[in-house]
């Protein structure tokens, strides 16, 4: 099971994100993560982002935000230090500290990812069977679903129906509750996107209050209309399945 992207050496470095790029630069500088030479690293970071732009690589706003942050810390460090009594040095230290902490956290997870990758090739790779429970039980006689039910029960059920039919429908007023449709729209679309092999309609409607269900349903109708979601029902009584369309992905990229 060879990893497709094993060749880090030959490929252009594809950074997972700005933190990844920054970590790489710090590693190249062979400096302690607690003691980053901000001025130098900031310049290198900006230069790397420029190169990425010139090579048409994806430079998201996150890179620009971190570049700006680095340049800001650099500028603070270059300014003559104000007297200690003032609060500015504290602020500068905080920014630096915050960055170091984010880097450390990210590095820890990046290392954990590496450990997982190793596990995937060593101890993992165990396959197991797909179990078809119904198939296993084909020769088993199911228990009588009418166990304990007699004619009287059937009759009582029929009476309930008639009684209700005579009473007429009960009209209930739903208390207004504020759920912005555009929030729900994004929310519903996200859930559909996360099930590229299809999300059951019932699953989508599963969570929440009555109002939430209504608004999700409205949101779903909107998504169907705009062609971001497609609905399928194989047979009359089968579940309605929802699928994201090509258009749905355009939306998340804009986001």
Partner 1 sequence: MLFREPETAALEALLFVAKDPLTPELLGEILELDLAMIKELLYELRTRYAVDSCGLTILEINGGFKLGTKPKVARYIEILYKQPAQALSNAALEVLSIIAYKQPVTRGEVDFIRGVQSDRALATLVEKGLVKDVGRKDGPGRPILYATTEQFLLHFGLRSLEDMPDLEAGSFSDDEVASTLE
Tokens of 225: 């209309």
For the chain, how big is the Rg over CA atoms in Å? 30
Which one of the spans 41-49, 70-78, 162-170, 221-229 is the region binding partner 1 (CB under 8 A)? 162-170
Q: How far is the CB of 24 from partner 1 (least distance, A)?
A: 7
- If one counts every other C-beta atom within 10 angstroms of the C-beta of residue 200, the result is 13
Q: Is 83 in the site for partner 1 (CB under 8 A)?
A: no
Q: Which of 196, 209, 210, 250 binds partner 1 (CB under 8 A)?
A: 196
3-class state of residue 199 by DSSP = strand
Tokens of 19: 């933190």
Q: Is 183 in the site for partner 1 (CB under 8 A)?
A: yes
Binding to partner 1 (CB under 8 A) within 219-238 occurs at 236-237
Where helices occur in the chain by DSSP H, the ranges are 18-29, 38-54, 61-78, 88-121, 133-136, 151-167, 181-193, 201-204, 210-225, 246-254
Tokens of 119: 């596990």
Taking the least distance from each CB to partner 1, the nearer of 85 and 123 is 123
CA distance 244 to 229: 5
Q: Is 200 in the site for partner 1 (CB under 8 A)?
A: no
Which one of the spans 37-45, 184-192, 214-222, 224-232 is the region binding partner 1 (CB under 8 A)? 184-192
CA distance 211 to 215: 6
Q: Is 5 in the site for partner 1 (CB under 8 A)?
A: yes
Q: How far is the CB of 170 from partner 1 (least distance, A)?
A: 10
Site size toward partner 1 (CB under 8 A) is: 84
Taking the least distance from each CB to partner 1, the nearer of 5 and 87 is 5
Binding to partner 1 (CB under 8 A) within 99-158 occurs at 102, 104-117, 119-131, 133, 136-137, 139-140, 142-151, 153-155, 157-158
Q: Which of 39, 71, 89, 191 binds partner 1 (CB under 8 A)?
A: 191
DSSP code per residue over 223-246: HHHTTSEEEEESSTTSPEEEEE-H
Tokens of 239: 């579940």
Per-residue contact string for residues 30-59; x = within reach of partner 1 by CB under 8 A: ------------------------------
Binding to partner 1 (CB under 8 A) within 163-182 occurs at 164-165, 169
User: What residue has token string 């001025």?
Assistant: 39
């Amino acid at each position: 099971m060879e990893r497709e992207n094993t060749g880090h050496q030959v490929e252009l470095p594809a950074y997972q994100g700005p933190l990844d790029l920054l970590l790489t630069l710090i590693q190249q500088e062979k400096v302690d993560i607690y003691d980053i030479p901000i001025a130098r690293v900031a310049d290198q970071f900006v230069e790397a982002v420029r190169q990425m732009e010139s090579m048409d690589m994806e430079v998201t706003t996150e890179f620009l935000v971190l570049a700006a942050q680095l340049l800001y810390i650099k500028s603070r460090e270059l300014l003559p230090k104000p007297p200690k009594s003032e609060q500015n040095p504290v602020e500068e230290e905080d920014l630096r500290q915050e960055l170091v902490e984010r880097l450390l956290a990210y590095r820890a997870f990046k290392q954990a990812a590496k450990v997982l990758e190793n596990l995937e090739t060593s101890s993992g790779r165990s396959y197991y069977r797909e179990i078809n429970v119904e198939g296993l039980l084909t020769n088993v006689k199911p228990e009588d679903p009418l166990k304990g039910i007699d004619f009287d029960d059937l009759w009582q059920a029929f009476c309930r129906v008639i009684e209700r039919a005579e009473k007429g429908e009960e009209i209930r007023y739903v208390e207004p509750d504020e759920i912005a449709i555009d929030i729900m729209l994004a929310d519903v679309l996200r859930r559909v996107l996360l099930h590229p092999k299809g999300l059951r309609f019932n699953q989508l409607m599963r969570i929440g209050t009555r109002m939430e269900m209504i608004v999700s349903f409205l949101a779903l109708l909107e998504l169907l209309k705009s062609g971001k979601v497609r609905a399928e029902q194989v047979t009359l009584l089968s579940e309605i399945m929802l699928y994201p369309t090509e258009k749905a992905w355009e939306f998340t990229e804009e986001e």
